[in-house]
Amino acid sequence: MAKVTFLQSGVSAEWTGEHDSLLELAEAEGLSLDFGCRMGNCTACQQRLASGEVDYPEGHDGVPDDDNILLCCSVPKTDVEIDA
């Protein structure tokens, strides 16, 4: 399990693996964040990763800007803080 903190909103949640992505976890916690394709290709869901590490599934093609992650297809490897 990992602790996920959305810094701007002040929301924290435990990652249990119940959701497919950090975006789905954010939505389950009541956050409304930008997204587009939900596959990591459009990069609309990117947010700055303040701390921690994430993993991506094989097959996603999007590349986020430096220091950002794609919420729609990433999962936490460690505790993470996201600037959202």
State pLDDT tens for residues 9-43.
Answer: 999 999 999 999 999 999 999 999 999 999 888 99
pLDDT at site 59: 75
pLDDT at site 23: 98
Delineate the domains of the chain, giving CATH numbers in brackets.
2-82 (3.10.20.30)
Alpha-carbon distance of 81 to 5, in angstroms, equals 5
**pTM of the entire predicted model:** 0.94
Alpha helices in the chain (DSSP H): 22-28
pLDDT at site 62: 86
